[in-house]
Amino acid sequence: MLSNGFRKALWAPSSAAAFLAITLGLPPKAHGIVCGAHFQALQRGSCSTTTSQGCFVDSDCPGFEGCVVPFLIPGDPVLGRTRIRVDLGSGSITTGTPPQVTINRLRFDLDCVQNSGFPCTDQGDVVEYLGDATITTNCPGVTWTTTMEQGGNEIVFTPSTPIVMGQNVNPGDTTAGGCSLAFDVQVANPEPEPGSCSMTTSQLCGTCQTCGVMCPAGETCVGAQPNSDPSPRIVEQVVGCNNATRDCTCSPILAAGSSATTDLPLCPICTGDTCGCDVTTGQCVTPEPGTSCPGATTTTTTSTTTTMSTSTTTGNRPPDCSGAVASPNELSPPNHQFVGVSINGVTDPDGDAVTITVTGITQDEPLKGEGTGNTCPDAFGVGTSTASLRAERSGAGDGRAYHVSFRADDGKGGRCSGTVAACVPRSGHTCVDEGALADSTSCP
pLDDT higher than threshold 50 for residue 275 = yes
**Confidence band for 142, pLDDT divided at 50, 70 and 90:** very high
Same structural domain for residues 52 and 147?
A: yes
Task: Identify whether residues 331 and 286 lie together within a single domain.
Answer: no
User: What local confidence, expressed as pLDDT, does residue 15 receive?
Assistant: 32
Mean pLDDT across 381-387: 85
Q: 17 CB contacts (<8 Å, ≥6 apart)?
A: 34, 35, 36, 37, 38, 91, 256, 257, 258
Same domain, residue pair 99 and 129: yes
Would you say the pTM of this structure is higher than 0.85? no
The one-letter code for the residue type at 76 is D
| Kind and range of the H or E run holding 422 | strand 415-424
Count other C-beta atoms under 10 Å from residue 237's C-beta: 21
Within-domain flag for 207: no
Do 375 and 353 share a structural domain? yes
> From the CB of residue 299, how many other CB atoms can be counted at a distance below 10 Å?
8
Cα distance between residue 154 and residue 337, in whole Å: 42
The answer to whether position 305 is within a domain reads yes
13 and 101, same domain (yes or no): yes
- Quote the pLDDT of residue 166: 92
Q: How far is CA 87 from the centre of its chain?
A: 13
> Rounded CA gap, 221 and 238, in Å?
26
Give mean pLDDT, residues 22-37: 48
- The pLDDT, as a whole number, for residue 444 is 66
Q: Which residues have a Cβ under 8 Å from the Cβ of 255 and sit 6 or more positions away? A: 19, 24, 35, 243, 246, 247, 248, 249
pLDDT at 288: 67
* CATH number of domain containing 138: 2.60.40.1510
In this predicted structure, the answer to whether residue 180 has a pLDDT above a threshold of 60 is yes
pLDDT tens digits for range 31-90: 456 788 899 999 988 887 666 677 888 888 887 788 888 899 888 888 888 899 999 999
Q: Within a 13 Å sphere around the CA of 148, how many CA atoms are in the beta-carbon half?
A: 9
DSSP string spanning 58-90?
GGGSSTT--EEPPPB-TT-TTTTEEEEEEEEEE
The residue segments making up the domain with residue 294 are 276-311
Give residue 125's Cα distance to chain centre.
17
The reply to whether 209 falls in a domain is: no
pLDDT score at 240: 92
What percent of the chain stands above pLDDT 70?
82
* Least confident range of 80-89, 162-171, 422-431: 422-431
Query: What is the spatial distance between Cα 363 and Cα 356, in angstroms, rounded to a whole number?
Result: 20
Q: Residue 75: name the closest of 269, 211, 261 by CA.
A: 269
Please tell me the distance from the alpha carbon of residue 229 to that of residue 195, in angstroms, as a whole number.
Answer: 8
Domains: count for the chain: 3
Question: Residues 85-138: pLDDT tens digits?
Answer: 999 999 888 888 889 999 999 999 999 888 888 888 898 899 999 999 899 999
pLDDT (tens digit per residue) in 326-379:
989 889 888 888 888 999 989 988 888 898 988 888 888 888 766 566 678 888
* Within a domain: 202: no
Same domain flag for 187 and 54: yes
Query: What's the pLDDT score for residue 372?
Result: 60
Specify the range with the lowest mean pLDDT, choosing from 12-16, 363-367, 389-393: 12-16
Residue 299: the pLDDT is 32
pLDDT, mean of residues 235-262:
88
Average pLDDT on 220-232 reads 84
Whether residue 61 is contained in a domain is answered as yes
For residue 261, which of 86, 25, 91, 79 has the smallest C-alpha distance? 86
Is residue 227 a part of any domain in this protein? no
Confidence band for 171, pLDDT divided at 50, 70 and 90: very high
Q: Are the CB atoms for 424 and 337 separated by under 8 Å?
A: no
Judge if 242 and 347 occupy the same domain.
no
pLDDT at residue 297 tops 80: no
Residue 7 predicted with pLDDT over 50: no
Q: According to the 3-state scheme, what is the secondary structure of 326-366?
A: EECCECCCCCCCEEEEEEECCECCCCCCCEEEEEEEEECCC
pLDDT of residue 50: 67
Return the number of other C-beta atoms located less than 10 Å from residue 443's C-beta.
14
Q: Lowest mean pLDDT: which of 25-34, 112-121, 176-185, 400-409?
A: 25-34
pLDDT at 6 over 70: no
* Domain match, 74 and 139 both: yes
Quickly state the pLDDT bin for 12 (edges 50, 70, 90): very low
Tell me: do 294 and 409 sit in the same domain.
Answer: no
In this structure, the answer to whether residues 127 and 172 fall within a common structural domain is yes
Mean pLDDT along residues 226-248: 88
259 lies in the same domain as 289: no
Q: What is the mean pLDDT of the chain?
A: 79
| Spatial separation of the C-alpha atoms in residues 117 and 210, rounded to whole Å | 9
Q: What's the pLDDT score for residue 11?
A: 37
Say if residue 259 is in the same domain as residue 282. no
pLDDT at site 127: 93
Q: Which pLDDT band holds residue 175 (cuts at 50, 70, 90)? A: very high
Residue 39 belongs to some domain of the structure: yes
Residue 204 within a domain: no
Q: What is the mean pLDDT of residues 422-437?
A: 78
